[in-house]
Each structure stands twice: as structure tokens, then as C-alpha cells.
Chain A
Amino acid sequence: MSVLNDTVDWLSDSANWSGDDGIPHRLTQHLEYTALTVVIAAAIAIPIGLWVGHTGRLRGLAVVSTGALRALPTLGVLTYASLFSGIGIKPAIFTLVLLAIPPLLAGAYAGLESVNRQTIDAARAIGMTEWQVLSKVEVPLALPLIIGGIRSATLQVVATATVAAYVPGPGGLGRYLIDGLAVSDYARIVGGSVVVIVLALVLDGLFVILQRVALGSRPSRTPTTA
């Protein structure tokens, strides 16, 4: 029970809530890495996923590379990346981007594939351009799944961004874990983990709301075909 008590002490110690190594600062850093990672990964993966889903082309390749990226060992990639780009935040961001791409890519192309073929056909038949079919029909209808992809990418990155501290540099919430481990300060390790978990839960809740909003006032009942 002493670890628990120590953890509560650590979390309630005002010294841990201020300064460069304080929770607010580390938390902000952590969120910054997460946001940066997800934005970069989304900029890469979502257009590719939409293209694959819209055209149906290179789907096999998308599936295989998604699986391959998922199988990459995070720490291995991080070590390897830091050999090239040196210490600091870059190798961590690079690694996290690789981690975030699969769910984003899968969310985008699976989202588009989930859209009723007849609806797409109808959109084309009434004279929409390919771009209009994508932007006015496919993306809005796929939005819940696309956001689902962003949600799981974000959660994975939030949890895994702790590895950023593995490479010497600014760190984020992972600092507590890595530094705590180095000096066997279990209260700090557990306390840091608790903050990460709470952050993940809060973000998850925000995404649930976002997915609801994406559905709008539209009834969830699927349209009967006449």
C-alpha cells in the first residue's frame, strides 16, 4: 500500500505542479507532441486513405502496409531513428507518426468503403463531379469512421508518446516514467502513468462527443430502399 500512498502524496505535492518538471508543463508538452504527431500523420494518411477508398485502387497495398506498420517495434524504430536524426524530439515524432498512420489510413479507406454503393452511384447519376461525390457524399457519410481512426490514433499516440523521454530531450509525461525508473522512484512512475491514463480518458470522451456531432441530427436508422 505504500506505493499507493506515495503516489497520492506525489500527485498532491504542490512542487510537482509547477516549474519545468511540473505536471502542467509536462502535460502541455505531451499534448503538443500528440497533436503534432496526429496532424502530421493525418496529413499523410487521410488523403491516401480517401484516394484508396474512392478509387478502390491499391487497396491490397494499403492493407498490407497498414499491417506492416502496425508490426513495427516502437522502441526499435525510435532507437534507429535517433541514430539518424540525433537526440531531441524529432526521432520520437517520426516514430509516433509511423504508429499513428495505420489507424488513420484504415479509418479513411474503410470509412469510404462503408458508404452504400447505390448512394454513390446516385450521386454520380445526378451529375456530381468526382470531387463532389467525395466531398459531399463519401466523406460526410464516412465521417464517423474517419473520426474513429483519428480517435484510435490519438489514444495510441498519447499512450506511446511516453517513449519520447527515452531519447534525451524535452520529454513530456514520459519523463516521469523514464526518470523515475532510473532512480527507482515508484511514486513518480505510477503518478506519471495515472496522469497519462486520465489524459487518455479525457481525450477519448472528447472524441465520443465529436463522433456524435459528426452524425448530426441525421437518424441512425439506415435508409430503407423504398
Chain B
Amino acid sequence: MIEYRSIGKTFADGTEAVGDFSLQLPSRTTTVFVGSSGCGKTTLLRMVNRMVDPSHGQVLIDDVDVSTRNKVELRRSIGYVMQEAGLLPHRKVIDNVALMMRLKGADKKEARDRAHEVLETVGLDSSLANRYPAQLSGGQQQRVGVARGLVTDPNILLMDEPFGAVDPIVRDELQQELLRLQRELDKTIVFVTHDIDEAFLLGDQVVILKKGGEIAQVGSPAEILAKPANDFVSSFIGLEKGHRKLHVEERNGTRIVVDETGKATGVLSE
């Protein structure tokens, strides 16, 4: 379990990125932080692997305060998929992935074998393994980023808008793959996005954030949809625009699902 205890972060230049944040993230589930740009999602995420040290409060992993742990060791034990894939441009794809294994002390062959394995897991063609990151498309780079996060089989996986920069079709594919992986791997995932649909799709627990890391609502997607805590949440999840308020109409004998604006969005399966 990951736990934020009354945590806050004010950067050296005086920017208060997170005011006072407390939350528990159950093990083996996916928690999604969702909120608009600059609300402190990345800052919250990076406090887990000590890429950002909090100004006050603590982050605990299985009841151990991360500030008592060696930064380098801690980071090696956590998978991190960065907002921009964050690959090393001078290393081939395979070496970018194998590097994590090497840092943890695996020998060359073991590291490469395992890297090939995860590249396959994330659906990357093995012919791409010997390319440099610059020779891949954005979506392929993101897959490599995910592979790198998974290669050491960490218990915790931090994912910062990993699919933010790819087109909707590829994003859909990557999301489905992540869902599949999560069913198999059962990790504790902290996922950051500003896309509410993505949050509802992937999250067991969804955390809707306002500026300064203030929690607007926490809950499962169903809970949030059923009972939005306030107007901010309603508008954020799109209830106000009517896209999510659906009803059934019968047309030509078929039952069709229509949203409030009258746009048909699907059919009702019997």
C-alpha cells in the first residue's frame, strides 16, 4: 500500500504545487490521478520515488517512510513510465530496456533476454529492438517506456500520462494492453492523466484533483458517476455537457442509447 500523509510541496521559486494531500492507495489496484494541467499530478507521483521531496508530510510504502530509504535503491525498485517516454537517445531500444536490469545487477545476457521478453509483452515488434529511440514513432516509444517500467517486475508502477502523446487509436490499443497486463501482473499502479475517460477506464480508484493537489472527489468510477461530490466534479466528468446522461429511445424497433443532446451513442444489448 502507498499512503500519502498530509503531504505538501512548495517549490524553491514559491510555487505551491501541492497544499495538503492525504490518500491511501491499496495494493494491487490502479489509482488514477486526474485533473487539468498544472494541478500537481506529476508532483504527487514523483514524491513516491523521491524525484520530488515533499516540503511537509510523508509518503509511505508498506508503512515505511520513503524519506528513510536510499533514493537510488528506491527508484530501482519502482517502475516509472514518464510523461515523455524519457528514453536515452544514445542507447538502442533493447539497451534502454535492459539497462534497468543491469542497474539491478543482472548480467548482460540475462538482462537482454528479459528485455526481449517484455518488449514482446508490450507488443513491440522484435525487429525494432536494435533501433535507436529517435527511429521509432511516438506510440512505439511509449511502448518501450512501458516495457522499461515493467522489465524488473516491480511491485509499484508509476505512469505519468504515458499515452498522452499518441493518436486516439493507438491510445485505445495501449489502454487495452495495459488492462490486459494488469489482469496478469497485479501491480500497484499509480496512473496520471488529464483525460477523464481514460481515468474511468483504467482506474479502480479515481482521484479527481483541483489546483494545488486538492482532492475534489475520490472513489470508484461508478461511485463518482453515481454521486458526483460537487459541481466541479460534475462538470469535470462531463455530466453537465450531457454526454454522460444517457437514456434509451426506441427507433424502428431497435432500442438506441441517446445522450441528452439527442445524439445517438450506441445500441442497448439485450
Contacts and interface: CB of A to CB of B under 8 A. Distances in A.
Interface of A: 116, 118-119, 121-129, 132, 137, 140-141, 216, 218-219, 221-226
B85 A126 contact: no
16 contacts: A116-B89, A122-B86, A122-B87, A123-B88, A124-B51, A125-B51, A125-B80, A125-B86, A128-B103, A137-B90, A219-B134, A222-B134, A223-B132, A226-B139, A226-B141, A226-B166
Q: How large is the interface on B (under 10, 10 to 19, 20 to 34, 35 or more residues)?
A: 20 to 34
A134 to B, nearest CB: 13
Contacts of B88: 119, 122-123, 137
Given A119-B86, A141-B89, A218-B132, A126 B166 contact: no
B108 to A, nearest CB: 15
B148 interface: yes
Contacts of A223: 87, 89, 132-134, 141
A31 B89 CA distance: 36
Contacts of B49: 125
A225 B165 contact: yes
A123 B87 CA distance: 8
Contacts of B135: 219, 221
B76 interface: yes
A219 B165 contact: no
A119 B133 CA distance: 12
B12 interface: no
A149 B165 CA distance: 37
Given A125-B75, A226-B138, A226-B141, A218 B85 contact: no
Given A122-B88, A140-B90, A219-B132, A226 B142 contact: yes
B84 A225 contact: yes
Contact of B82 (A125, A132, A218): A125
A121 B133 contact: no
Interface string B129-167: 000111100110110000010000000000000001110
Contacts of B51: 121, 124-125
A122 B132 CA distance: 16
B72 interface: yes
The listed residue with most B CB atoms (<10 A of its CB), out of A121, A122, A221, is: A122
Interface string B62-79: 000000000011111100
Contacts of A225: 84-85, 165
The listed residue with most A CB atoms (<10 A of its CB), out of B76, B77, B84, B135, is: B84
A216 B80 contact: no
The listed residue with most A CB atoms (<10 A of its CB), out of B51, B132, B139, B166, is: B132
B207 interface: no
B215 to A, nearest CB: 25
A185 B90 CA distance: 54
Contact of A126 (B100, B138, B141): B100
Contacts of A140: 90
Contacts of B85: 225-226
B47 interface: no
B99 interface: yes
A118 B86 contact: yes
Which 3 pairs, one residue from A and one from B, show the smallest C-beta to C-beta distance?
A122-B86, A127-B76, A127-B75
Given A122-B87, A225-B84, A127 B141 contact: no
A218 B86 contact: no
A1 B164 CA distance: 72
The listed residue with most B CB atoms (<10 A of its CB), out of A118, A124, A125, A132, is: A125
A225 B148 CA distance: 16
